[in-house]
Amino acid sequence: MNARQVPARPILYRQLTLRLMIPLVLIVAVVGAFGLYSTGSETATVFDRWLLDAAVSLADQVRTGNGGEANTVDLPEAARTMLAYDEIDHTWFSVLDRGRVLIGSSGIPTTGTNAVAYSDGRAFDAVYGGAQVRVAAVGAPCAGCDHVVVLVAETVLKRQRSNRVVEWLLFPLGLMLVVTCTAIYIAVRSTVRPLEAIAERWSRQAHASLQPIPQDDLPDELTPFATALNDLLSRIREILVRERMFAAAAAHQLRTPLTALRLGMDRARHSPDLASARAVLDELKQVTDHTGRLVQQLMLLGRLDPEGRGDIDRTAVDLRDIARDVCGLFAEVALEQHVDLELQLPPTPVTVVAQTELLAEALANLIDNAMKSAGRKGQVLVAVIESPASLRVCDSGPGIKPSERKVIFERYARGSRPRWEGTGLGLAIVHNVATLHGANVAITDGELGGACFTFEFARPANS
C-alpha cells in the first residue's frame, strides 16, 4: 500500500520572486520584440526609399523616340558611375522597353518575394548574379513610355549590418533584465530572511513557554500573524489550566468514594453477623453506583469538551419523543420517592436537529437535579415548548439564587444550599450539550416555587 503523498508546501521567497520576475520578463520580451520589428520595418522602408529614389532619377532620363523610333536614355557616363557607386553594396541598373534592355545590365529580375508597393513604384527581394539583392522597379514618366520599366538592384549588405546593429541594441535590454531579476531575488531573500529569524525565535519561545510573543519589533505585515498566534497560545493556556483543574477535581471526587469503599470493606470484614455485613454491602452498592455515575459523567464531559470534541452525527428528532423516553426512565424512581413527575406535551411535533443520545443525557441530568432538589413528595414538571423549540424542567425545591445562576453550570458547582449528594457535573454536561447544539440554557424562578431550567434551541429543524 503506497503511503499518501504530502503535497509540497509553497516557498514564500520563491513565489514572490516568480511573481515579480515573470511579468518583468514578459514586458521585456514584448517590448524587445515590438522594438525589433518596428525598427527593422522602418529601416527597411528607408533603404527601399533610397533605392526607389535612384530608380526614379534614372526614369527621368528616359526620352521618347521621334517618328516611331525607339525610346532612349540620356544618361551621361558620370551619372552612370555615381549611380553604380557604393562602398558596401554592389548596385546594378537596367532600363527595359518591352523586355529589351535600353541601357544597363541585363537579367535583373522583374519580380520577387517580400514585395512592398509604394506610391511611385515597388520593391522586392530577388537573386541576381548569385547574390541576394533588393530590387526597385518604377515606370518612366515620359509620354509613350508605358512599356518602359526601370530597375535598380542592390545587394543587402547594408541591410544585414543594420539588422545586426538593431539586434545588438537588445543586448542592454537583456542585461538590464538579468540585473533586475538578480536584484529582485536578492531583495526578496533579504526581506524573507528576517521572517525566518522571527519564526525561529517564535519556535524557541513556544517550546520554552506559552507566554505571548512580543510584537514591538515586528513589521506591520506580521502583526496579524503574531496576534493570531498569541490568541492560539492563550487558548492553549486556558485549555491546560482547565484540564489541570479538571484532573485535580476528578481525583478529589474519586478519592472520597474510594475511601468509603475501603472503609466499608473493612467494616464488612469485621461485621459480627450476616445482617450487619449486608447493611454495609448495601451502603457499598450506593457508593459504587455513585462512583460509576461519576466516571460515566467524567467520560461524557471529556467527550463534550468544547476544544476537544469532534463532529457528531445529528438527525431530526421530535422533542416530545425525547421527553417521553427520558421521563419513562425516572417513573419508577419518582414512585419510590413519592415525587409528582408531570409531563406536558404539545399536540404537534416539535422537531429539532440534534444528537439524540446527548440531548437525552442533558434532559436526564436536568430531571435528576430537579428530583433531588424537590425531595420526597416534591413536584417536578417536564414540558416541551413549541415556539421557540424548548425543553423545560421545573421543580418545587428551594430554587437557585440569582447570584449563583452564572456559576451553577461550572464543574462541581452545587450552589450555596445543596440538599443532595451528586457528582457536580450534571449541569456542566447540560451546558456543554447546549453549546454543542447552538442552544441556550436559562434559569428562572418556576411556577412550582423552585428553579426552572429552559433548554432553548436557536432554530427548528425546518428553518
| Other CB atoms within 10 A of residue 238 CB | 11
pLDDT digit string (tens) for 267-324?
A: 777 777 777 777 777 777 766 765 666 566 566 656 555 554 445 678 899 999 999 9
Q: Where are the alpha helices (DSSP H) in 375-445?
A: 426-436
* Distance separating alpha carbons of residues 299 and 47, to the nearest angstrom: 94
**Which alpha helices (DSSP H) does 375-455 contain, by range?**
426-436
Sole residue written with cell 437525552: 360
Q: What is the pLDDT of residues 361-398, one digit of tens each?
A: 888 888 988 888 888 889 999 999 988 899 999 999 88
Buried-exposed string 327-341: b where 16+ CB fall within 10 A, e elsewhere = beebeeebeebebeb
- CATH, range 12-64+71-164: 3.30.450
Task: Give the count of beta carbons closer than 10 Å to the beta carbon of residue 439.
Answer: 24
pLDDT tens digits, one per residue of 36-72: 888 888 888 998 998 998 888 888 877 766 554 456 6
Name the architecture of domain 221-303: Orthogonal Bundle (1.10)
Pick the closest to residue 445 from 383, 391, 400, 381 (CA basis). 400
CA distance 293 to 299: 10
Whole-number Å distance between alpha carbons of 69 and 164: 49
Listed by start position, the domains of the chain span 12-64+71-164, 221-303, 315-456
Share of the chain above pLDDT 90, in %: 15
315-456 has which CATH code? Answer: 3.30.565.10
**Residue 172 backbone dihedrals phi, psi, to 5 degrees:** -60, -35
Averaged pLDDT, 163-179: 84
How far apart (Å, rounded) are the C-alpha atoms in residues 20 and 173?
17
